[in-house]
């Protein structure tokens, strides 16, 4: 009886996994299917999951007659600036939270919880004052301003990730480096960072993925089409381009998600390795 109950539990778990997987995969497959349909199959009823005739004209039209590649390039620039800037802020912050004494362990835990609390604040809360500040400083339609906001929003997450990974690195390495005459900064850059490379890699990849899908911040701070990242660019493409069909929008959505998907598939081994080594511990 126990064995049968155990088998039933395992089957129920896998059925639940399958349902969750289907909930995520089905919309993706449907969008991909729409992107490969000719126009005469867009309105057939009942709709078929797979098109009767494959047609890549939507991809050709989007790549040739839309600024999609410019949007992707802008997104890559934002992502690179965010990864470099957020890691530059998070590294010393994570080192301080992991290694320095704040008077008591409770006080240090309070600081790290405060950093996590800042991360939990919705961007919707800061959008109105952020717009007013940027407008007063003349930074509306400034990619630099958007990149700085990205860095500020992502730095708490990067700090929390790196702090958890640093907590798993023995403090004996710090002590040995200090005995050899290294300062704290030299210890961080010459001793700890080489050990932290898996955690740094995973954090950088997650920062890139988080930045790739950003919508609200550039939507509020940018209104020139040539400055937009891909998340806002597709909306602008839909609303300003004449005769945009559903299959072209689907093709644009597939091309938008493709770089992030490739990054996850190619680098997932490094993400899993870093997370299992303690990058989110603590």
Residue 281: per-residue pLDDT: 44
Residue 224: per-residue pLDDT: 87
Q: What is the 3-state secondary structure (H, E, C) of the chain?
A: CHHHHHHHHHHHHHHHHHHHHHHHHHHHHHHHHHHCCCHHHCCCCCCCCCCCCCCCHHHHHHHHHCCHHHHHHHHHHHHHHHHHHHHHHHHHHHHHHHHCCCCCHHHHHHHHHHHHHHHCCCHHHHHHHHHHHHHHCCCCCCHHHHHHHHHHHHHHHHHHHHHHHHCCCCCHHHHHHHHCCCCHHHHHHHHHHHHCHHHHHHHHHHHHHHHHCCCHHHHHHCCCHHHCCHHHHHHHHHHHCCCCCHHHHHHHHHHHHHHHHHHHHHHHHHHHHHHHHHHCCC
**226-265 confidence digits (pLDDT tens):** 899 988 888 877 766 555 577 888 888 888 888 878 877 7
User: How would residue 276 be classed by pLDDT, with cut points 50, 70 and 90?
Assistant: low
Q: Which residue has the higher pLDDT, 88 or 22?
A: 88
Residue 147: per-residue pLDDT: 93
The answer to whether 200 and 162 have CB atoms below 8 angstroms apart is yes
Question: How many whole angstroms separate alpha carbon 225 and alpha carbon 120?
Answer: 30
Question: How many whole angstroms separate alpha carbon 213 and alpha carbon 250?
Answer: 16
User: How would residue 279 be classed by pLDDT, with cut points 50, 70 and 90?
Assistant: very low
Sort 75 into a burial class: Cβ within 10 Å, 0-12 / 13-18 / 19+. buried
In percent, how much of the chain has pLDDT > 90? 14
Residue 110: per-residue pLDDT: 74
Q: Which residue has the higher pLDDT, 11 or 240?
A: 11
Q: Is pLDDT at 277 greater than 70 in this prediction? A: no
């Amino acid at each position: 009886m126990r064995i049968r109950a155990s088998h039933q539990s395992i089957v129920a778990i896998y059925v639940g996994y399958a349902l969750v997987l289907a909930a995520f995969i089905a919309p993706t497959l449907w969008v991909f299917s729409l992107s490969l349909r000719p126009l005469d199959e867009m309105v057939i009823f009942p709709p078929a999951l797979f098109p009767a005739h494959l047609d890549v004209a939507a991809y050709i039209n989007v790549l040739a007659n839309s600024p999609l590649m410019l949007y992707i390039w802008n997104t890559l620039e934002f992502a690179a600036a965010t990864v470099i800037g957020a890691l530059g802020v998070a590294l010393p912050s994570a080192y301080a939270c992991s290694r320095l004494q704040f008077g008591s362990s409770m006080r240090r835990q309070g600081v790290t919880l405060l950093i996590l609390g800042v991360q939990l604040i919705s961007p919707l809360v800061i959008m109105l004052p952020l717009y007013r500040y940027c407008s007063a400083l003349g930074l509306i339609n400034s990619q630099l301003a958007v990149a700085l906001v990205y860095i500020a929003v992502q730095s708490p997450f990067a700090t929390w990730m790196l702090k958890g990974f640093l907590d798993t690195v023995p403090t004996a390495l710090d002590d040995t480096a200090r005995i050899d005459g290294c300062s704290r900064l030299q210890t961080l850059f010459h001793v700890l960072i080489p050990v932290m490379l898996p955690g740094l890699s995973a954090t950088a990849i997650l920062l890139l993925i988080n930045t790739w899908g950003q919508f609200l911040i550039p939507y509020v701070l940018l209104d020139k089409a040539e400055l937009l990242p891909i998340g806002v660019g597709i909306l602008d493409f839909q609303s300003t381009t004449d005769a945009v069909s559903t299959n072209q929008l689907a093709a644009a959505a597939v091309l938008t998600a493709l770089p992030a998907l490739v990054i996850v598939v190619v680098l997932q081994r490094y993400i899993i390795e870093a997370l299992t080594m303690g990058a989110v511990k603590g």
